[in-house]
């Protein structure tokens, strides 16, 4: 199975305030995201993380990656320093990827595009960065955890779901 996610911001306390994630501290936040990831993703699954993985305050990236199920690919975000991108544990690291999956041509980048390759041929733009605050264009999906119940999502789930600003609060029962 292939999953997509982004904007986990492990160890970054700004997300509690700016994104109003429903946690009292970063330990609670990080543990909840790790639990949601591992409940969703199996060891043999593949995960495309579309940027802003973690703060260097969260500790060693390799140790965090080892706690998360699946083979992990990083699409670099604006908050991913070299210590994160060069960490062992990533199957690949790049800024932009195009791939075929489920009969769809996917355009993966941390940033949402106004236009993208093969847009007129129904390609799909998957992105992070906007934390559920950007009105999407047709065939454009924010895969960030704020928009996906704090967990990775399959393409099939993304194609069925309309972005919900309250997903994080719903997960926490608030």
The model's pLDDT over 117-135, given as tens digits with 9 standing for 90+, comes to 999 999 999 999 999 899 8
Q: CATH number, domain at 141?
A: 3.60.21.10
Total-model pTM: 0.91
Q: How far is CA 65 from the centre of its chain?
A: 14
C-alpha–C-alpha distance, residues 58 and 29, integer Å: 11
pLDDT band at 54 (very low <50, low <70, confident <90, very high): very high
- Whether 108 has a pLDDT exceeding 60, the answer reads yes
User: Which pLDDT belongs to residue 162?
Assistant: 58
Pairing of strands 140-142, 96-101: unpaired
Q: Tell me: the pLDDT tens digits for 39-48? A: 999 999 999 9
Q: How many CA atoms lie within 13 A of 128 on its CB side?
A: 31
Percent of the chain surpassing pLDDT 70: 93
Read off the pLDDT of residues 59-99 as tens digits, 9 standing for 90 and up. Answer: 999 999 999 999 999 999 999 999 999 999 999 999 999 99
Q: Output the pLDDT for position 63.
A: 97
Among residues 48, 47, 11, 33, the alpha carbon closest in space to that of 145 is found at: 33
- Go through 41-70 and write b for each residue having 16 or more CB atoms within 10 A of its CB, e for each that does not: beeebbbbbbbbbbbeebeebeebbeebbb
What is the tally of structural domains in the chain? 1
Greater pLDDT, 111 or 58: 111
Query: Residue 164 — very low, low, confident or very high, per pLDDT cuts 50/70/90?
Result: very low
Q: d(Cα 147, Cα 139) in Å, to the nearest integer?
A: 15
3-state secondary structure of 139: coil
Measure the CA angle with vertex 152, ends 86 and 102; round to 5°: 100
SS3 content of the chain, % helix, strand, coil (to 5): 30, 25, 45
% of the chain surpassing 90 pLDDT: 85
Residue 160 structural domain = 2-171
In this predicted structure, which of 33-42, 92-101, 133-142 has the lowest mean pLDDT?
133-142
Is there a contact between 71 and 47 (Cβ–Cβ < 8 Å)?
yes
What pLDDT score was predicted for residue 161? 73
CA 36 from chain centre, in angstroms, equals 12
Encoding tokens for residue 93? 């690291």
């Amino acid at each position: 199975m292939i999953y997509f996610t982004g904007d986990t911001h492990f160890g970054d306390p700004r997300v509690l305030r700016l994104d109003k994630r429903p946690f009292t501290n970063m330990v609670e936040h990080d543990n909840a995201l790790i639990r949601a990831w591992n409940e969703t993703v199996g060891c043999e699954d593949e995960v495309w993380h579309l940027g802003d993985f973690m703060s260097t305050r969260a500790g060693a990236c390799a140790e965090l990656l080892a706690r998360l199920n699946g083979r992990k690919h990083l699409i670099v975000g604006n908050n991913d320093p070299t210590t994160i991108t060069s960490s062992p544990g990533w199957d690949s690291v790049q800024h932009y990827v195009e791939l075929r999956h489920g009969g769809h041509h996917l355009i993966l980048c941390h940033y949402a595009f106004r236009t993208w390759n093969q847009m007129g041929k129904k390609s799909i733009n998957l992105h992070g960065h906007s934390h559920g605050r950007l009105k999407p264009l047709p065939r454009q999906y924010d895969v960030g955890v704020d928009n996906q119940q704090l967990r990775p999502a399959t393409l099939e789930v993304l194609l069925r779901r309309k972005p919900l600003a309250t997903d994080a609060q719903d997960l926490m029962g608030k």
